[in-house]
Amino acid sequence: MPNAKVLESKKAVVEALTNTMKEATSVVFVDYKGINVAQDTALRKQFRDAGVEYTVVKNTLTRFAAKNIGYDFDEVLNGTTAMACTTGDPIAPARIVCEFAKKNKNVLTIKGGVVEGSVLTADQLNGFGELPSKNALVAQVLGTFLAPISSLAFVLDQIREQKAGPAPAAEAEA
């Protein structure tokens, strides 16, 4: 039986993990086996730049924290496990891990996770890794909305020019 001091510290870790997972828009569990120090440092910098918290976690304590919220990650939480979570862009952790794995000969693999309350498999999260960032997606949608309006303005301008007739030489040079 562990002593009371150790038990209290573990309860505090579980409570902190529970709060972190509860507040996060996405949590991705990663197998980091085979990563070296230089690669880990580069990965952590990418996570920091994107506003993603990345920590190595104890499987048992993380399992307790997940169950406190209502998630079951018994199949995911085994072996070497790190947790990448964010309260910002929900696809950022999966995207960063996928890009990093491609560049570094698959030293990282996604085990599973949660995105905006939905438990997702590794395959589903790897699919998220192929998507552009949330801001890029918003820009693409806005660009799509803007295209018809721009085309209409161009056509109306052409009609106006056609009705006005050819411009005199002095005005064309100005």
| Residue range 88-125, pLDDT digits in tens | 888 888 888 888 888 887 688 889 898 888 888 888 88
Is the domain of 106 the same as that of 25?
yes
| Residue segments in the chain with a per-residue pLDDT below the cut of 50 | none
pLDDT at residue number 109: 87
Residue type (1 letter), 130 = E
CATH number for the domain that contains residue 85:
3.30.70.1730
Residue 17 maps to a domain:
yes
Domain extent, residue 143, equals: 135-165
Query: Rounded to whole angstroms, how far apart are CA atoms 20 and 30?
Result: 16
Is the domain of 103 the same as that of 151?
no
Residue 141 φ/ψ, nearest 5 degrees: -65, -45
Q: Give 71's contacts (C-beta < 8 A, 6+ positions apart).
A: 21, 114, 119
pLDDT at residue number 83: 93
Is the domain of 159 the same as that of 91?
no
pLDDT at residue number 138: 78
Sheet holding 82-86, edge to edge: 53-56, 82-86, 26-31, 109-115, 118-121
